[in-house]
Structure 1
Amino acid sequence: MLFDRLVSLRAVAVSALVLSSSVYAVAQQVPTSRVRGTIESVDGETLHIKSRDGAEVSLHMPASARVAGVAKMALSDVKVGSYIGVTTVPGSDGTQKAVEVHVFPEDMRGTGEGSRPWDLKPNSSMTNGAVDSRTVAGNDGHTLTVKYKNGEKKVTVTPETQVVTYVPATRADIKPGTPVFAITTKKPDGSLEVARLSIGRDGVAPPM
């Protein structure tokens, strides 16, 4: 009896593990895309955007979606321990050059941790992690070591690198002419939906 019960419990545990793996696999397969552009008009929960390549894109933004402003920040305010995202491209000298750095607020620490290909520029990548160290690299540049789970990346920040942070914003700030950045999911009907919209503030366009 005890043996049969143990076998039964093991079967339940294996089934639960398989189900959990299947759910995770399905979640990983949800198609996403990134939209960068400018708001042309707002129609209820639908945003009409002209993307950076000139295409017209419509996004569904449900009432539950969050809005975050993006504003300029001084590199001197990026401290050791800051949780950041940085888009880099490989330089001719083999170093990773930062195109932009965005600093996350503390309640977003851990967002997208790791390093992955990115589509801002050809051969660009996005790395999210904590600043482990920073040093002066010469010619007004700085080298940041960004640590993330199972890895780290050294990136060179130059005077041309855009440095921004997130600031409070609301749906009322989404108006025609507002520069935006969104990571969208494709719904079964083919429409694009956004759960979080980043909008430019004070003349700054989201650089990521």
Structure 2
Amino acid sequence: MSIRLKLAVSFAALTLAGAALAQSSADKPERIRGEIVSLSGNTLTVHRHSGETVTIDVDPSAGVNAVKAIQLGDIKPGSYVGAAAMPGPDGKLTAKEVLVFPEAARGTGEGHYAWDLGANSTMTNANVDTVVQGTSGRDLKLSYKGGSNTINVPTNVPVVTLIPATRAELTTGKKVFVVATPEKNGGYDGHLVVVEKDGVAPPM
């Protein structure tokens, strides 16, 4: 893995897990999900899932990655994952998506905290201790500094890993996940872009 990719992946993990937690703060990063309208120079225009269209300044140094679909069976004890989940009726956590981080990103953003894929959703970045086959997918026993939890991953939940991408792949109509800081002019300063590739959209 190149140094550039290592940096991009590590920054992706840090940004996904840490800096973007406080979406309501005007001076902290937001997670922007939507579809690309255009890329003109360094200005990326995105139509957000929430309805509005925003402009994001994507500096050439900003990390650009894509996601590749992998199998649930590819998650093994020792994998380092980020799992977005929601509590079921019984209180147990059920995954909405799982990102298997490349080895270069191991340990970054470690922990369990609130997420924004739905009411009461959480994100857990942690090491996989055990994988148990269940009647509805697999149960992942995850451990992180200060705690542990178990998340059920249904068979129909997206499981992906990060792969390198380029700005040339930021084309109209593709789905994106962007971490960006709000600017005073109403636009955003982009730090990380994860773009759809080969029909696989960022599920996080």
Q: What TM-score, normalized by structure 1, do the two folds share?
A: 0.82
* Aligned pair partner of 1:177 in 173, 178, 199: 173
Q: What is the total number of aligned residue pairs between the two structures? A: 180
Runs of at least 4 residues off by over 4 Å: none
* Aligned pair partner of 2:39 in 31, 42, 62: 42
Cross-structure match for 2:78:
81
1:65 aligns with 2:66: no
Bigger radius of gyration, 1 or 2?
Answer: 1
Q: Using the alignment, how far apart are the partners of 1:159 and 1:181 within structure 2?
A: 23
Gaps of 5+ in 2: 1-21
Q: Using the alignment, how far apart are the partners of 2:54 and 2:97 within structure 1?
A: 24
Cross-structure match for 2:7:
none
Q: Deviations over 1:91-144 (max 9, x none)?
A: 0122100000011111111221111111111110111111111101213x1100
Q: Deviations over 1:138-177 (max 9, x none)?
A: 13x1100111111111000002211111112111111111
Cross-structure match for 1:15:
none
Shift of 1:186: 2.4
Q: What TM-score, normalized by structure 2, do the two folds share?
A: 0.84
Across the aligned residues of Structure 1 and Structure 2, the Cα RMSD in angstroms comes to 1.5
SS at match of 2:178: strand
Shift of 1:191: 3.1
Q: Using the alignment, how far apart are the partners of 1:90 and 1:175 within structure 2?
A: 36
Gaps of 5+ in 1: 1-27
Higher helix share: 1
Which residues in structure 2 correspond to 1:1-208 (within 5 Å)?
A: 30-139=27-136, 141-208=137-204
102-111 vs 57-66, which deviates more?
Answer: 102-111
Q: Using the alignment, how far apart are the partners of 1:118 and 1:175 within structure 2?
A: 27
Q: Using the alignment, how far apart are the partners of 2:48 and 2:184 within structure 1?
A: 22
